[in-house]
Amino acid sequence: MSLIFVYGTLKRGGTNHHNLADQVLVGAAQTSAGFCLYNVGTFPGMVRRADDRDGVTGEIWDVTAECLARLDELEDTAHGMYRRETVPLAPPWDQGPVETYIYLRNVKTLPHIGSNWPV
């Protein structure tokens, strides 16, 4: 099992949440400062942003290797849309490694939406 932080359409109630339906919800969480969301259209993209003071809100899920492979495919990691990497979380979740999906494409022309999806 692996811990994954989700912040957009994979959250409960999101359009892609069915991909986590048979996994274990650990709880609500927030990244440390230095991360924010951009509106990519029907989904958000989380990027590192040094001047961010709030972080991003989301959920931590305990997922199987099979689920993680499904999520990598959904997030198009093979073609460079997202990269799965370890992200620092705010207390009390700052005790161990948790991964998330970082958006890799240019956000210069995308609307900045802060720390929460949906907007």
**Looking at the annotation, which residues are catalytic?**
75
> Does residue 118 have a cis bond before it (omega within 30 degrees)?
yes
d(CA 70, CA 104): 19
Which residues touch 4 (CB under 8 Å, ≥6 apart)? 60, 61, 63, 68, 71, 98, 99, 100
